[in-house]
Structure 1
Amino acid sequence: MSLTYKTSVAAAAMALAMTACSFGPSGEPPAMPAPEHYGADAQPAKTVSAGGVAQTFEIGATPGSQWWRLYGSSDLDALVDEGLHNSPTLAATQRTLASAQEELRAQVGASTLPSIDGAAQVERARTAVVPGLGPEQVQYNFFAGQVFAHYTFDLFGQTRYTNSASAARVNVQAYELEASRRALAANIVGTAINVAALDRQIALTERLVAVSNDAAHEDQQRYALGSVSRAQALASKQDAAAIAATLPPLRQQRACAIHALAVLMGRTPDNAPSVPALDSLSLPGQVPVAVPSDLLRSRPDIQAADAAVKAAAADVGASTAQLFPSLSLTGSMGRGGFSWPMLLSGAGGLWAIGASLSQPIFHGGALFAQRRASIDAYDAAVLHYKATVLSAFQDVANSLAALDNDAQTLASTDEAADAARTAFDDTASRHRLGALPSAATHASESRYLDAQIAATRATGQRMSDTAALFQSMGELPAAQQTAAITR
């Protein structure tokens, strides 16, 4: 073999390899901007102090896999643990992923390894012959046993690309499972906090209704005595009825929330769990804020979009490779004969070997259309990835802004509640000394209860938005978390 021939063969092989490698895009996600801060305004180092807590933002950190334990409530931990263990929706997603993984194993094994099959045949037949040339009928037995083998060479990478696309889609399902797990935990935490806040609001509203009814009853008695006008008595009755009308909607919200919590945990609504009191929950003081480059690796929805880009890129390679020739080898080996002795003798050997080369020539433009379709699908996957990243940035920006504003709202409502409490204490003391009528006490207590209800809403909102931020941060692997913190 001449040197020129060897060089030509090597060059052809290298060109073939380079051609196969360039059939599809690389599958790497597009570069995304790395903003200095998520929102329109720079993120403060910490929030104002409210409820005795000023939350500090830890730049470069991400929450752990069990961030809900930072609320310091074993009852809340038990709710989340039960939900993650018993949720049928999460379990169904897990089984769907397991099914996809097994299908991928089957596809890879069937497409990359030779297929070998065995066959055995036992037949008794009767054949008619031409009259005058022998017996009119011939009866005979036929025995055969063979092993068949088949293998298709992946010359241009169609099998490799197809398997890569399937593997990437399995990864998409794996990331979607992780997203479902984190969303379930966040929904359980948020719903439990909502129920706890509603419990307190209902208790305060019930007291507010009682105070309003007492005030209306006293005004009715005073009207009967002629000390107040009929208009004032009717106004007091109207106020009491209006306040009482706010109680059923709160109870309805609570019923819907506790039913939703039961279903999230895999229970029936009639078996709803007990919820920890709002006062038993501790607001996390340290809030992790991942830098944008880490967010791309920590959010499962972004990772799923990344895997979808890789799958679409592999589809382009597969649709391109199917335009090129395909080479297959087939072979069989066995024994056969018209009797058992002949089957077992040397004369009964059967074998065959062959090769086939096929090249698409004309398919009505279908193959080229499929390739163009896969390219369009790849472009769509890239754009979907960009949209997912931008949506994630927006999600984090909104959560950070919410925590800052929640703290300011709670600080104001707490200040209003403290002032209302002081005013109520002073009014009650003066009433006991006979300096003020009971109507003044009822009015002061009503204002205090209104302020407490507003503070309760703000407290629950702040805790829920903290859980939403933990959810929006995703989760880095342990090694990456250490590197991020030490940057």
Structure 2
Amino acid sequence: MRLVHSTFTLTASAAFVVAACSFGPSGDPPAMPSPAHYGAGPQPARTATAGGVAQQFDIGAEPVPQWWRLYRSEALDALVEEGLRSSPTLAATEKSLAAAHEQLRAQIGSSLLPTIDAAGQATRERYLGIPAAGPNTVTYDVFVGQIEAHYTFDLFGAVRYANAALGARIDQQAFQLEAARRALAANIVGAVINAATLNRQIAITERLVALANETANEDERRYTLGAAAHAQALASRQNAYAIAATLAGLRQQRATAVHALAVLIGRTPDAAPAVPDLASLALPEHLPVVIPSELLRTRPDIRAAEALVKETAAEVGAATAQLFPSLSLTASMGQAGFNWPAAVSGAGAIWSLGAGLSQPIFHGGALRAQRRAAIDSYDAAASEYKATVLSAFENVADTLAALEHNADALASLDAAARTARTASYEAAARRRVGALPPSAVRSSEQAYLSAQLDTVRARGVQFANTAALFQAMGGMPAQKNP
């Protein structure tokens, strides 16, 4: 007992000497600049009015967790909720996170608390006897039953740092799961917008193909009657074929988008869902723009990078603590004997108590190399954190600029489409009174439909950019669907 007490006293004294020293970095992420605005110039208060809507940027507003509901489409809400509930990728990530939590509980329980085990043994042994001093062989039985305890004192924080590193790693996985959940929602919304936009483009292009075929048929009849040149008839038919080719390409794009949507929500491509019409989606008018300093708190990818910094900082502390002594206590008590009655009697009581002190002296430089590697990993994590923050700022700045400039373009395209529509209506009216030939009416309608195609593409981009901004703002964890 005196040996154990002396050993503990010496080691505890050494621990107090280094207690004031930090074995690793604090784990706080490196300081980052807080710009006044994201882009090269100040952020405007709102976009240009396009389609009767001017989107307003709410500077300093909190991000919206379930932002897809702002499109006011029950069909879209149902698809996103199905994806969050049924995605096998999310399910696998959630189970991996649950397993990591259990591993942390196991590591804490085994490293910070004593271990107590029960052991029993019954053996029959045969040994050679001593020549001329007894029988040639000795055969006997041994019965042992005991309880064993072991505890290692975490004097220099090696265990504490290791547990902190594992805890930070689990935090990182949790933030990555939230980032994956939000990315899945954004991908589903993007796939729906893409498919809905393509559906509208296909409908317009089908009408363009019909008009082009009517023009080609008329020119071929006129050529047969000698009223038009053969070159004109061939050019009209070539134009009809060219427009039909674009229709086939649009249908292929739609098939790809619908198949991707099915997989995103956890279905097979043959069970792809119906896509809501583009006109049924409402464009969100208020867009939250988190201030740059708060973006560090709301973006899951930044929080994951911050958790990596904490993890590597704790690993530096653990590697440093490995250079210092380790103290372990062991104890056991039980019963033993050469036969069962003796083993369970008072004379068979056995016990042991011991202490072990270990101080690394020479490991071929391995321990110090591990510490240097941990420091390098920490420096790398700090640099990755900076890169993640800068990339997040860039992502937000690009998305805001895209919304602003796309609204400007859409406003012009809307104006052009309205003008083309007026011209088409006037041409149809003049045709009804016999003032224009059918070909002129078709040409006017084709111009209007072409303008509509440009508007539909730009509107789809506007819807997609809006979803991208909501995604870029991050946000608190969304409610998990049951």
Give TM-score scaled by structure 2 length.
0.95
Q: What does residue 274 of structure 2 align with? A: 274
Q: Distance in 2 between matches of 1:367 and 1:10?
A: 22
Aligned partners of 1:46 and 1:57 also within 8 Å: yes
Quote the offset at 1:116 in angstroms.
1.0
Question: Does structure 1 residue 54 correspond to structure 2 residue 54?
Answer: yes
Q: Distance in 2 between matches of 1:195 and 1:154?
A: 59
Closer/same/farther in 2, CA of residues 470 and 200 from structure 1, 3 Å limit: same
Q: What is the correspondence of 1:217-228 to structure 2 with a 5 Å cutoff?
A: 217-228=217-228
Quote the offset at 1:138 in angstroms.
3.2
Residue 27 of structure 2 aligns to a residue whose secondary structure is: coil
1:56-98 alpha-carbon deviations (Å, 9 max, x no partner):
1111113322110000000000000000000001101101111
Q: What is the correspondence of 1:40-439 to structure 2 with a 5 Å cutoff?
A: 40-439=40-439
Letter in 1 for 2:115: S
Q: Distance in 2 between matches of 1:12 and 1:353?
A: 23
Quote the offset at 1:412 in angstroms.
1.1
Quote the offset at 1:16 in angstroms.
2.3
Query: Which stretch shifts more, 60-69 or 48-57?
Result: 60-69
Q: What does residue 7 of structure 2 align with? A: none
Q: Distance in 2 between matches of 1:374 and 1:201?
A: 55
Quote the offset at 1:165 in angstroms.
0.5
Q: Distance in 2 between matches of 1:89 and 1:427?
A: 55
Query: Which stretch shifts more, 118-127 or 463-472?
Result: 118-127
Quote the offset at 1:133 in angstroms.
2.7
Aligned partners of 2:178 and 2:477 also within 8 Å: no
Q: Distance in 1 between matches of 2:375 and 2:15?
A: 27
Aligned residues: 469
Letter in 1 for 2:51: G
Query: Which stretch shifts more, 222-231 or 306-315?
Result: 222-231
Structure 1: 5+ residue stretches without partners: 1-7, 479-487
Letter in 1 for 2:325: P
Quote the offset at 1:140 in angstroms.
2.1
1:384-427 alpha-carbon deviations (Å, 9 max, x no partner):
00000000000000111111112112111111111010000111
Quote the offset at 1:236 in angstroms.
1.1
1:263-282 alpha-carbon deviations (Å, 9 max, x no partner):
00000000000011000000
Question: Does structure 1 residue 38 correspond to structure 2 residue 38?
Answer: yes
Letter in 2 for 1:18: A
Aligned partners of 1:62 and 1:476 also within 8 Å: no
Q: What does residue 25 of structure 1 align with? A: 25
Quote the offset at 1:14 in angstroms.
4.7
Aligned partners of 1:161 and 1:318 also within 8 Å: yes
Q: Distance in 1 between matches of 2:85 and 2:446?
A: 45
Query: Which stretch shifts more, 146-155 or 77-86?
Result: 146-155
Q: What does residue 4 of structure 1 align with? A: none
1:358-383 alpha-carbon deviations (Å, 9 max, x no partner):
11111111111111111111000000
Query: Which stretch shifts more, 233-242 or 209-218?
Result: 233-242
Aligned partners of 1:297 and 1:476 also within 8 Å: no
Aligned partners of 2:331 and 2:353 also within 8 Å: yes
Aligned partners of 1:417 and 1:451 also within 8 Å: yes
Q: Distance in 2 between matches of 1:373 and 1:343?
A: 53
Q: Distance in 2 between matches of 1:268 and 1:113?
A: 49
Aligned partners of 1:62 and 1:474 also within 8 Å: no
Q: Distance in 2 between matches of 1:134 and 1:363?
A: 50
Aligned partners of 2:112 and 2:159 also within 8 Å: yes
Q: Distance in 2 between matches of 1:225 and 1:437?
A: 17
Q: Distance in 1 between matches of 2:53 and 2:291?
A: 24
Residue 273 of structure 1 aligns to a residue whose secondary structure is: coil
Aligned partners of 2:11 and 2:325 also within 8 Å: no
Aligned partners of 2:11 and 2:327 also within 8 Å: no
Residue 246 of structure 1 aligns to a residue whose secondary structure is: helix
Q: What does residue 470 of structure 1 align with? A: 470
Letter in 1 for 2:302: I
Query: Which stretch shifts more, 125-134 or 25-34?
Result: 125-134
Residue 28 of structure 2 aligns to a residue whose secondary structure is: coil
Quote the offset at 1:148 in angstroms.
1.0
Quote the offset at 1:130 in angstroms.
2.9
Q: Distance in 2 between matches of 1:13 and 1:126?
A: 49
Query: Which stretch shifts more, 338-347 or 425-434?
Result: 338-347
Closer/same/farther in 2, CA of residues 269 and 10 from structure 1, 3 Å limit: closer
Q: Distance in 2 between matches of 1:320 and 1:258?
A: 54
Quote the offset at 1:126 in angstroms.
2.8
1:281-322 alpha-carbon deviations (Å, 9 max, x no partner):
000000000001111000000000000000010111111111
Q: Distance in 2 between matches of 1:260 and 1:387?
A: 31
Letter in 1 for 2:20: M
Aligned partners of 2:12 and 2:155 also within 8 Å: no
Residue 152 of structure 1 aligns to a residue whose secondary structure is: strand
Q: What does residue 6 of structure 2 align with? A: none
Q: Distance in 1 between matches of 2:224 and 2:152?
A: 102
Letter in 2 for 1:332: S
1:420-479 alpha-carbon deviations (Å, 9 max, x no partner):
10000111111121111111111111111101111111111101110010001001479x
Q: What does residue 484 of structure 1 align with? A: none
Closer/same/farther in 2, CA of residues 326 and 11 from structure 1, 3 Å limit: closer
Quote the offset at 1:137 in angstroms.
3.4
Letter in 1 for 2:160: R
Letter in 2 for 1:463: F
Quote the offset at 1:134 in angstroms.
2.9
Closer/same/farther in 2, CA of residues 53 and 388 from structure 1, 3 Å limit: same
Of 5, 13, 18 in structure 2, the residue corresponding to residue 16 of structure 1 is: 18
